[in-house]
């Protein structure tokens, strides 16, 4: 649900952890149980199952494109799956599809809707299907047994209390999905669990709340009006999804514009090829290591990409663009020039602040500026030493300067990020 990048500096894939194996194992067992039960007992109320299956499949087909490295949400499919899990009646007649059939229908529909995406090489990640299976099963387990045993109807009837109960169950399901997602990301990336969970919970306040509300409305609407309620109540979420598609396109264009501005120093010969990209990639990895949130990481990425743009105001280029090797006064002058340029580009003022303060003593800097300064210095120092021991020497020099220039925690986080990489990012050619 969130728009956050989770890769490490060199994109290394970590070995599968016990947490991921446990989550996948639970989803696999639930899938096998659902498939076996459905094949053995047959499909209960096939007309209802087909209607919700088509809704989930259409939702998967309509997934909007995300920025590379981010998840592609399918809100319409998620709302349809939750609506089926919390469906107790169809036009006043009680349903009996149960937990296992719910999981089977939702997973089969999700796979069917993913086929066109897989055919063009953009299918959903396996994590997406695993989470969909477990969260749908969780919602169905919380609702179906109690409803079929008449407990919920006797306690809440069909009035406002029943609607509030559905919303409460959906909130618990959303919380379960957020925790599950954060656990998987923590196991794959080794980033702190707290910020990952915070990003997932923050996402619930946006599209997550719309998905939960639509799921509850679908269940309540079908219970009263029958299956004709499905297309009616799905239109608002479909329109919301189209709006998010346009937002994603604008955000992609915005990123590309900033990346183009960052390349201006390379094209003009002020910095080495790939320097801005390397600094941005490593800075985001260090920021994740230090627990920055999604929005803070976005500011950090933009600032890291544009941290050298002040060099365009210089008459004579800095040799190899290595500003970390300049006197402190010159570093600050270039940083202030860069901040002035960034403020004229229309990016958030927080980005310009990081660029302006990247050369200040670290005790006077915000955390993002501390990260950019340390990572930029590391890349400059690696480029200064062409031997194989260059990365180690660069880290050693950063550690020796932690009394004034670089925050010790940032340097150690950088060292941990680099130690998890297959190769240390450095200059090429």
Which phi and psi (to 5°) does residue 227 adopt?
-70, -15
At residue 10, does pLDDT exceed 80? no
Question: Could you write out the DSSP letters of every residue in 30-48?
Answer: HHHHHHHHHHHH--SSHHH
Average predicted confidence (pLDDT) for the chain = 81
At residue 100, does pLDDT exceed 90? yes
**d(C-alpha 115, C-alpha 109), whole Å:** 10
Task: Tell me the pLDDT band of 13, cut-offs 50, 70 and 90.
Answer: very low
Task: Tell me the pLDDT band of 68, cut-offs 50, 70 and 90.
Answer: very low
Over residues 35-44, the pLDDT tens digits come to 999 999 999 9
At residue 113, does pLDDT exceed 80? yes
Task: Tell me the pLDDT band of 50, cut-offs 50, 70 and 90.
Answer: very high
Among 19-23, 134-138, 240-244, 405-409, the range scoring the smallest mean pLDDT is 240-244
Report the pLDDT averaged over residues 232-255.
Answer: 75
Q: Strand pairing partners for 346?
A: none
Among 83-97, 147-161, 205-219, the range scoring the smallest mean pLDDT is 147-161
Report the pLDDT averaged over residues 110-123.
Answer: 79
**d(C-alpha 189, C-alpha 186), whole Å:** 5
Among 6-10, 100-104, 414-418, the range scoring the smallest mean pLDDT is 6-10
For the whole model, what pTM was predicted? 0.74
Q: Which residue has the higher pLDDT, 12 or 339?
A: 339
Report the pLDDT averaged over residues 6-35.
Answer: 74
Task: Tell me the pLDDT band of 312, cut-offs 50, 70 and 90.
Answer: confident
**d(C-alpha 362, C-alpha 175), whole Å:** 37
**d(C-alpha 18, C-alpha 131), whole Å:** 16
Q: Which residue has the higher pLDDT, 80 or 269?
A: 80
| Predicted local confidence at residue 363, as pLDDT | 86
Task: Tell me the pLDDT band of 210, cut-offs 50, 70 and 90.
Answer: confident
Task: Tell me the pLDDT band of 32, cut-offs 50, 70 and 90.
Answer: very high
Residues 6+ apart with CB under 8 A from 282: 9, 375, 378, 379, 414, 417, 418, 425
Over residues 362-410, the pLDDT tens digits come to 888 889 999 999 998 898 888 766 555 678 888 888 898 888 888 999 9
> How far, in Å, are 49, 274, 345, 360, 391 from residue 383 at the CA level?
61, 12, 29, 23, 9
At residue 81, does pLDDT exceed 90? yes
Report the pLDDT averaged over residues 246-259.
Answer: 76
């Amino acid at each position: 649900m969130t728009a956050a990048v989770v890769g490490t500096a060199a994109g290394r894939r970590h070995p599968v952890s016990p947490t991921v194996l446990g989550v996948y194992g639970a989803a696999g067992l639930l899938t096998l149980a659902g498939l076996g039960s459905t094949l053995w007992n047959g499909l209960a109320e096939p007309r209802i199952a087909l209607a919700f299956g088509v809704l989930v499949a259409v939702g998967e087909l309509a997934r909007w494109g995300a920025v590379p490295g981010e998840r592609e949400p399918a809100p319409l499919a998620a709302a349809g799956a939750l609506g089926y899990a919390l469906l107790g009646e169809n036009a006043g007649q009680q349903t009996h599809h149960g937990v296992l059939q719910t999981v089977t229908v939702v997973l089969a529909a999700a796979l069917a809707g993913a086929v066109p995406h897989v055919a063009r090489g953009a299918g959903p990640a396996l994590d997406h299907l695993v989470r969909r299976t477990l969260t749908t099963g969780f919602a169905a387990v919380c609702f179906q047994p109690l409803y079929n045993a008449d407990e919920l109807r006797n306690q809440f009837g069909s009035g406002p209390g029943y609607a509030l109960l559905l919303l409460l169950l959906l909130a618990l399901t959303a919380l379960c999905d957020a925790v599950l997602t954060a656990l998987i990301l923590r196991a794959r990336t080794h980033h702190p669990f707290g910020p990952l969970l915070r990003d997932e919970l923050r996402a619930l306040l946006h599209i997550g709340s719309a998905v939960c509300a639509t799921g509850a409305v679908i269940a309540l609407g079908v219970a009263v009006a029958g299956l004709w309620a499905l297309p009616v109540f799905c239109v608002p979420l479909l329109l919301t999804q189209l709006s998010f598609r346009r937002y994603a396109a604008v955000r992609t264009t915005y990123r590309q514009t900033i990346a183009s501005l960052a390349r201006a120093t390379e094209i003009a010969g002020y910095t080495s090829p790939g320097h801005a990209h390397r600094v941005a990639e490593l800075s985001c990895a260090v920021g994740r290591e230090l627990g920055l949130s999604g929005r803070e990481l976005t500011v950090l990425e933009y600032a890291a990409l544009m941290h050298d743009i002040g060099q365009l105001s210089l008459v004579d280029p800095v040799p190899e663009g290595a500003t970390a090797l300049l006197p402190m006064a010159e570093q600050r002058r270039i940083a202030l020039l860069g901040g002035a340029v960034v403020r004229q580009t229309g990016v958030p003022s927080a980005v310009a602040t990081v660029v302006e303060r990247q050369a200040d003593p670290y005790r006077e800097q915000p955390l993002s500026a501390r990260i950019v300064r340390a990572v930029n210095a590391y890349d400059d120092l690696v480029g200064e030493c062409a031997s194989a021991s260059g990365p180690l020497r660069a880290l050693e020099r950063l550690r020796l300067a932690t009394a004034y220039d670089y925050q010790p925690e940032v340097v150690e986080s950088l060292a941990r990020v680099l130690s998890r990489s297959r190769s240390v990012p450095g200059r090429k050619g």
